[in-house]
Amino acid sequence: MATVGPLELPESGYDAVIFDCDGTLVDSMPAHFEAWCEALTLHGAAGVFKEDIFYAMGGRPTKDIVVELNDEYGLKLNPESVALAKREAFLKKVKGLTLIEEVADFARSLLARRIPMAIATGGSRHVIEKTLQAVGVSDWFDEVVTADDVVVGKPAPDIFLRAAKLLGVAPEKCLALEDAPAGIIAAQTAGMAVVAVPSPLDFANR
């Protein structure tokens, strides 16, 4: 498992907990970055997506990121084609994914307490289902909300609001765990308390 060090996780004050997946529950961001690099190279845009920018844009739908890369670098990448290539490249890497230890331990404690839990992710449903299956936690969550389920992705609050609605819990009674700026903004805009999860890379470099 990956580790991010001690997290300040409240034991009370919420009726449900909503987790981001990539970089929060699952240590998958390095694999996602590799998949991005492979997809962009395939489409003649090698090197345009720097790692620091990738992490800053974490949580956002793939197609939205391609549109922004086009605007930033004057490219004409097809968002659908790049997203498909990126998805296929990532799916080849899922068997090597691991949970983030501290977040997984927290989720297990919530299971024991029978507190409702959901996933709220900027990823597509197919990829997230494969990710959760790969790390063996598909049955932990009452609901899984993906970018496929909303019109507007993070940093808009829609994904978190939909997750709360499906759980039957008011947003202000939900605790959210997120690693990316877009996701943190989305959860806060939804009215939720947020625990920011640092990346395993940040912890290793302390």
| Predicted local confidence at residue 201, as pLDDT | 61
pLDDT tens for the chain, residues 1 to 206 = 788 888 999 999 999 999 999 999 999 999 999 999 999 999 999 999 999 889 888 888 888 899 999 999 999 999 999 999 999 999 999 999 999 999 999 999 999 999 999 999 999 999 999 999 999 999 999 999 999 999 999 999 999 999 999 999 999 999 999 999 999 999 999 999 999 999 766 654 54
Give the residue among 182, 186, 202, 189 at the shortest CA–CA distance from 62. Answer: 182
* CATH 1.10.150 domain extents, the chain: 29-94
| Predicted local confidence at residue 78, as pLDDT | 97
Contacts of residue 165, Cβ cutoff 8 Å, sequence gap at least 6: none
How far apart are the two ends of the chain, measured CA to CA in Å? 18
* CATH 3.40.50.1000 domain extents, the chain: 16-28+97-204
Considering the entire predicted model, what is its pTM?
Answer: 0.90
Per residue, the 3-state secondary structure of the chain, as one string, reads CECCCCCCCCCCCCCEEEECCECCCECCHHHHHHHHHHHHHHCCCCCCCCHHHHHHCCCCCHHHHHHHHHHHHCCCCCHHHHHHHHHHHHHCCHHHCCEEHHHHHHHHHHHHHCCCEEEECCCCHHHHHHHHHHCCCHHHCCEEECHHHCCCCCCCCHHHHHHHHHHCCCHHHEEEEECCHHHHHHHHHCCCEEEECCCHHHHHCC
Indicate if 148 belongs to the active site: no
| CATH fold for the domain made of 16-28+97-204 | Rossmann fold (3.40.50)
Per the residue annotation, which of 15, 20, 27, 71 is the catalytic one?
Answer: 20
| Predicted local confidence at residue 1, as pLDDT | 75
Q: Which CATH number fits domain 29-94: 3.30.70, 1.10.150, 1.10.3470, 1.10.155?
A: 1.10.150
| Predicted local confidence at residue 200, as pLDDT | 64
* Ramachandran region, residue 89 (left: φ > 0; alpha: ψ -120 to 50; beta: rest): alpha
Gap between the Cα atoms of 29 and 202, Å rounded: 12
